[in-house]
Structure 1
Amino acid sequence: MLFDTHVHLNVSQFDEDREEVIVRAREAGVEYMVIVGFDHETIPKAIELAETYDHIYAAVGWHPVDAVDMTDKELDWLEELASHPKVVALGEMGLDYHWDKSPKDVQKEVFRKQIRLAKKVNLPIIIHNREAPEDIITILREENASKVGGIMHCYNDSADYVGDCLDMNFYISLGGPVTFKNATMPKEVAKIVPEDRLLIETDCPFLAPHPNRGKRNEPAFVKLVAEKIAELRDVEFSELSRQTTENAKRLFQII
C-alpha cells in the first residue's frame, strides 16, 4: 500500500496516456494519490480527476511563481473549492526564489493570504520551497500556520530546518531526489524524520527517481522512493509503506 501525496497528472505531459498511468500506479501498489492544482488550468483538472476516481484526491492552491497572477477573485475561488468533498489540502503555495516572474514581496503576500485562508477553512497546506527556507519558516511562524499544519513538499533543504518544520505541525515529504546518487541532503533527512511525520511523493512528471532520472516521472515510481527510504532507515519496505500511508491518511483526514 503506497500513498503518493503529490502528483501533477493534471498537466499536459499526461494527455496522451493519463488513464494508463493511473492503471500502472494501481498495479505498483499505489492505493491513494493527491493531484495538486496550482493555476487556472490545472485546478479544474485536479477536481475533475478526483471526482472521476475514488482513490484520487485533490489539493488546490496558487503557485508562487505565478503569484503576480493571483487576485482576490482567485482567492475567493480557492475558498469556494475548499468545501469540495475531495479537496483535502490547499496548495501548493510558498516561495520560489529561483525564477523571477513574481517579485519576492508579491510572493510573500500571496503566500500569507493562502495561509490565512487555510486557517479559515481548516485545511492543511502544501508548501513549495525553492531557495527560500528561512523566509518560508519565518512566514509560517508569523502566520501561526501550525494551526493547520501540512506538508513540506519534496523536501530538499538542510536537515537543520527539519526541527522547525516539525515544531509547526508539518510533515516532511521526500521524492525522487532521495534516490539520486549525488543528493546528500534528502538522504540525511530521510534518516532523521520521525516515522509518524514522514511522507512520500513523486511530484510527477518532474524529478523521476533513479534509475528513471531524466525521464517523465509517474506515480508508479513512488515505489522506488519508498524502497530507497526504507533502505536508508533500515526498515522493511512493507513497514515504510504502511507508515507513510497511515501518515498521509491522518493528515488528509481520509477514512
Structure 2
Amino acid sequence: MLVDSHCHLNFPDLVAHLPEVLANMQAAQVTHAMVIGVAMPEYPAVLALAEAHANLFATVGVHPDSQEAEVPSEDELVALAAHPRVVGIGETGLDYHWCKGDLGWQHARFRRHIRAARRAGLPLVIHTRESAQDTLRIMREENAGEAGGVMHCFTESWEVAEEALDLGFYISLSGIVTFKNARQIHEVAQKVPLDRLLVETDAPYLAPVPYRGKTNEPAFVRHVAGHIASLRGMTLEEVAAATTENYFRLFAKAGAQRG
C-alpha cells in the first residue's frame, strides 16, 4: 500500500484521462493521493476531485512562482481549509529559480500561508527552489513548526534536510531520486529517519525511471519507493508501509477519514 503525497490530478495531462489514471493507481496498490492546490482559479477543480473520490484529498494554497497570482487573505485561507476534504495548506514557499529581483512579495505570501496553517491546525506543503536558507529562516521566524508539514520534492543537501527535520518537518522525495546523477538526493534518501519520510510523484512532472521524460502519474510512486528501498537496503513493502503511515500521521485530518 502506497500514498502519493503530492500530485496535480487536475492538470490537463491527467484529468483528461482520469479513469485510467485512477485504475492505474489501484493496480499499482497506490491507495490514496493528495491533489495539491497551486492557484485559486484552479482550486474548485482540486476540491471537486477530493469530494468525488474517497481516496483523494486536497490542499489549498498559491504557488510562489507568479507575483500576479490571486492570493486569498489569511482569513480566507483559514476558511477554505475548514472544508473536510482539505487536509493541508500549500503549495507554498519560495522559488528563486523562476522569480528574480525584489521578492518581498514572495516572502509575504509564504508568511501568510504559514500563519494560516498555524491557525487552521493543518500541516504545510512547502516548495523551496534555490532558496533554502531564506525558506528555513522564514519558517523559523513564523514558528512553522507549530503547524508542521513537509518539504515537498526535496532536492537540497542533507544539511538543509537536517534543519527542516529539526523544525519538525517531513521530507518528501520524488522521481528525481531515481535519476542516476542525483547523488545529493540519494544521500538524503539514505539518511532521513524512516518515520519522517514521504514519497510523491509531483505528477504530471518528474516521472521516475523507467518512465523518465513521459507524463508522470500517481501509480509511478511505486518506482520512487522502490528506489529508496534499494538505497536503504530495505524492501519496497517496508518503505511503502512506513511512508503510508507517515502520511496519515502528518495529515491527521486525512487519517481520520482513511478508508
TM-score by length of 2: 0.95
Deviates more, 1:115-124 or 1:13-22: 13-22
2:194 corresponds in structure 1 to: 195
How far residue 67 of structure 1 moved from its aligned partner, in angstroms, is 4.0
Structure 2 unpaired stretches of 5+:
none
1:133 corresponds in structure 2 to: 132
One-letter code aligned to 1:126: V
Q: CA RMSD in A?
A: 1.3
1:52-201 matches, cutoff 5 A: 52-71=52-71, 73=72, 75-100=74-99, 103-201=102-200
1:28 corresponds in structure 2 to: 28
SS in structure 2 at match of 1:69: coil
Pair 1:103–1:205, CA change in 2 (3 A):
farther
SS in structure 2 at match of 1:116: helix
Runs of 4+ in structure 1 deviating by more than 6 angstroms, as ranges, are none
How far residue 13 of structure 1 moved from its aligned partner, in angstroms, is 1.5
SS in structure 2 at match of 1:41: helix
| Cα distance in 2, alignment partners of residues 70 and 104 from structure 1 | 16
| Cα distance in 2, alignment partners of residues 48 and 74 from structure 1 | 22
SS in structure 2 at match of 1:187: helix
Structure 1 unpaired stretches of 5+:
none
Deviates more, 1:41-50 or 1:203-212: 41-50
Decide whether the 8 Å contact of 1:37 with 1:59 is kept in 2.
yes
SS in structure 1 at match of 2:16: coil
| Cα distance in 1, alignment partners of residues 92 and 155 from structure 2 | 16
TM-score by length of 1: 0.96
* Superimposed CA distance per residue, residues 98-135 of structure 1 (whole angstroms, 9 cap, x where no aligned partner): 11378411100100011011111111000011110000
| Cα distance in 1, alignment partners of residues 62 and 68 from structure 2 | 10
| Cα distance in 2, alignment partners of residues 107 and 34 from structure 1 | 24
| Cα distance in 1, alignment partners of residues 40 and 178 from structure 2 | 32
Calculate percent identity across the aligned residue pairs.
46
